[in-house]
Amino acid sequence: MTTPRKDLRLDPSNLQVTHEPPADGGRLIVLTAPLTEAIDHAGYFIQMALASLPIWMEGVINRKYPKWREVEHNPDGSARYMPAGVRLVEKSLLRAYRSDDVVACFPDDLHKFVGPRTRVVAVSTHNPLGVTFAAGVYTSIFGSSKMPINSHYSRLLFSKIKASPYRDNFKVIVGGSGGWQIIQTNLYDELSVDCVVEGRSESADTLELFRKAIEGQELPRVVEVKHPMDREQILFPDTRTTFGVVEMTTGCGRRCKFCVPDLNPQIDLPKDKIMDAVRANVRHGNKQISLATEDMFIWGQVHTDTPFYFPNREALVDLYSDIVNTPGVEQHVLSHSTIAPAVVDPLLIKQLSDILLPKSPIHFPLLSSHPQKKALAPLIGLETGSVRMAKQIMSSKGVPFSIEDWPSVVLEGLRVLNENNWFPAMTLIVGNPGETDEDVMETIDLVYEIERRGLFAFLIPSIFTPLHDTRMEKMEGVTQTRQLTPLQWQLMMKCWKMNLRPGQYSWWGPMAWRVGAIGMWLYKLRRLNGPNFTWPLWMFSGAISEKNLQRMGKIYRGKPVKVKTRAELIASLKPKDWQYLRADNGDMPMGYAPPLAAHAASLAQM
C-alpha cells in the first residue's frame, strides 16, 4: 500500500493536489460519472449538445446556461442525483456491502471520498470518447474529432482518478453503455482504467468482480457479464436519477443490424416497480420523470399472445397516466420509440398526447396546436430512405408493415405524430457500408417529401459507426468527413437546414451552424472537409437558392415520393394480423370481420 502524501486534493482546473485526505479514510467503493452525463437541469437537449459540440464551442453552452456546472449535493457531500446506471450499480452493490462502504459522488467531490480505505473507483459512462452515432460526426466536421465537450469532461474525470495519491490502492472499473469505447480504442493506460464491464450491474459476475478488486486481485481488461433474462431480476433505483430516468423496457425486438440495445433480451418491466422508482425520485426532490426504453410502444405487449408491434393501448395509457399523475411529478419527457406504431394505432397517439402534453417541458411555438404550445419529442430512428439499404440493415424496422413500404410508414407515421403535437428527433445514418449515390438520393427524396408535406421532425444525420457486438461490427463505413460524397454532404446539410427553419426551437443550432457558416468555411472547413462539402454548404447557408444550385448542377433537389396512405398500408397487412387491429382507428381492410366479443359489445351499445 502506498503512503499518501499529505494535504492533497485534486484541483479541477490543473489537477494539483491540495487538500487533507477524507477524515474517515474514504469509502471502500466510490461511484461516479462524468459531470456532463450527470447534470440534470435544462432538459435532455443540453446533454445531447454536450455530446455533439466540440470542446472549443463550450462557450455556446456557457452563454446559454451559465450555471450548467452547478450540481446539488446531499448533506454528506455525495451526489443528489446520478445517471440511472450509477444508481443501479449502487443498488446492486448494496446487496453485498454496507451503505457506508459505498458512495456516489460528482467528479469534483472525489477527494472527499477517495482515501486510503478506497479499493474501487467505479465509473459509469454513456459516451466517454464521443464515438457514437451523431456525437463524433459533428465535432469532426469542426475539426476536432476526438474531443466533444462530453469527452473532454470524461477525460478530466479519468485524469482526476489517475492523479489520486491513493491510485495504487484501488482498482478503476468502468461500465455503462459507453464502456466499449475504451475497449475499442485501447485507452486503458492513458485513462488509468483497470477493467471495463460489459453488461448489467445486477449480474452476480459483477459482484464477484468487485469482490476481487477489493481483495486487490488482478482484474481482466474486459469482463462480460450476463444480462438478466427475467424482469424480476432487474433492479430499480430508490434514490434520485439524472432526469428522473427509470427503466421501462430492455431490448427491442426489431433486430436492426447496427443496434446495440437490441442485443439485450426483450423485457418490459413491472409497473409496480416502475411506480416505486418514480415515487422514490419525487421523494428525493425530482420533479421530472423519463421512462428509458428503446421503444416505449412494446411495453405491455412483450411475450403476450399479440405480437409486440401491435401496441397495448390500454396498458400504455394506464402506465403513463399513473406516472404523470403521481403527486410531485411536474414534468415528463419521452425517450425513444419507433414510428410504425403511430400508423398502427393513431388513437393511442392521441390518447397519450392528451395525458402527456400538459406535463411536457418542451414547447414548439410555431408548430404546436396545444394551447400552451407544448410538444412531445421522442427519439426515433429513420436511418435511411432507401428501401434497398433498409432491407439490408433493418428489415423489420417497420413491422407489421413490409420494409418495402418504409418511406410510406415514415411519412404516414410522422403525419399522425405531428397532428398530435409529437415532433420527434429522427436519426439518419449516412455512409452505411455499401451505400450508393442512388441510396442517398432516395433518402434525400424522403427528406424533401417531409418538407413538401409540411411535416416536421428534427433530423439528426450521423455517420455510420460500426458498434461493438452488433452484426455490423466488422463493417467499415465513412471514417473521415473528407470521404463523404457531395450527395452525402447534401443530405446532412439539408437536414440541418430544415431543422433550422426560422423560429424553430433549436437555440444552439442556428448559432453553431447558420451564422457565419460561409465565413467558417473560408477560414477552416474547406480544407478540413474537402471540396465535396462546398456546394452543400452554400445550399445550407441560403446564400444561393436551391433552385439556382440545382440549375447550376450543384445539388440534387429530390423527386416526389409515391406513398401509400394509412388505409393502403393497413390493406397491405397479412390477414392473420387483422385480428390485432383496432377498428376505432378506421381504415379496416376489406373483408375484415370484428372479433365476436367486440362485435357483441358494439351491438349491445346500439
HSE-up of residue 428 (Cα within 13 Å, Cβ side): 28
Minimal CB distance residue for ligand B12: 175
Stretch that binds ligand B12, among 119-127, 407-415, 511-519, 556-564 (CB under 6 A): 119-127
Q: Measure the CA–CA gap between 69 and 374, rounded to whole angstroms.
A: 27
Query: Which residues 218-237 are close enough to bind ligand SF4 by CB under 6 A?
Result: none
177 binds, among ligand B12, ligand SF4, none (CB under 5 to 8 A by kind): ligand B12
* Contact (CB, 8 A) for 171 and 146: no
Nearer to ligand B12, 289 or 570 (CB): 289
User: Does 50 help bind ligand B12 (rule: CB under 6 A)?
Assistant: yes
Measured distance between the N- and C-terminal CA atoms of the chain, rounded to whole angstroms: 82
Q: Pick the binder of ligand B12 from 90, 109, 268, 294 (CB under 6 A).
A: 294
Amino acid in position 429: I
- Contacts with ligand B12, 11-40, as mask; x by CB under 6 A: -------------------------xx---
- Report 239-258 residues binding ligand SF4 (CB under 6 A): 252, 254-256
Q: How many residues does the chain have?
A: 606
Adjacency order of strands within the sheet including 120-124: 102-104, 29-32, 120-124, 171-175, 195-198, 222-224
- Residue 298 amino acid letter: I
User: Rounded to whole angstroms, how far apart are CA atoms 334 and 376?
Assistant: 7
Buried b / exposed e over 495-515, threshold 16 CB at 10 Å, is bbbbbbeeebbbebeeebbee
Enumerate residues 310-369 that contact ligand SF4 by CB under 6 A. Answer: 338
* Closer of 81 and 456 to ligand B12 (Cβ): 81
Of the two residues 144 and 264, which places its CB atom closer to ligand SF4 in the complex?
264
Per CB under 6 A, does 288 bind ligand B12?
no
- Is 178 near ligand B12 (CB under 6 A)? yes
Dihedrals phi, psi of 130, to nearest 5 degrees: 70, 35
Contact with ligand B12 (CB under 6 A) among 8, 134, 161, 390: 134
| Contact between 107 and ligand SF4 per CB under 6 A | no
When the beta carbons of 183 and 573 are compared against ligand B12, the nearer one is 183
Residues sharing a CB contact under 8 Å with residue 570, sequence separation 6 or more, in sequence order: 581, 587, 588, 589
Question: Considering the complex, what minimum distance in angstroms separates the CB of residue 276 from ligand B12?
Answer: 15
Quote the least distance from Cβ 380 to ligand B12, whole Å: 11
Give which of ligand SF4, ligand B12, none residue 44 binds (C-beta under 5 to 8 Å, depending on kind): ligand B12
Told to check if 449 binds ligand SF4 by CB under 6 A, we report no
Q: Going by C-beta distance under 8 Å and a sequence separation of 6 or more, which residues neighbour residue 108?
A: 12, 35
Give 103 or 259: the residue with its C-beta nearer to ligand SF4: 259
Q: Per rule CB under 6 A, is residue 381 in the interface with ligand SF4?
A: yes
Helical ranges in 462-586 per DSSP H: 486-499, 508-509, 517-520, 526-529, 534-541, 546-551, 566-571
The alpha-helical segments, DSSP class H, found in 397-533 are 406-419, 437-452, 486-499, 508-509, 517-520, 526-529
Size of the site for ligand SF4 (CB under 6 A): 13
Taking the least distance from each CB to ligand B12, the nearer of 260 and 588 is 260
Closest distance to ligand SF4 from the beta carbon of 267 (Å): 13
Cell numbers representing residue 447 in the block: 427528406
- Which of 21/83 has CB closer to ligand B12? 83
Q: Cα 133 vs. chain centroid, distance in angstroms?
A: 10
Cα atoms found within 13 Å of the Cα of residue 408, Cβ hemisphere only = 18
- Name the DSSP class of 97: S
Contact letters (x/-) for ligand B12, 317-336, by CB under 6 A? Answer: ------------------xx
Q: Which residue ranges make up the site for ligand B12 (CB under 6 A)?
A: 36-37, 44, 47-48, 50-52, 83-85, 88-89, 122, 124, 126-127, 132-135, 150, 173-178, 197, 200-202, 206, 242-243, 245, 247, 260-261, 292, 294, 335-336, 467
Q: Which residue ranges make up the site for ligand SF4 (CB under 6 A)?
A: 252, 254-256, 259, 261-262, 294-295, 338, 381, 394, 397
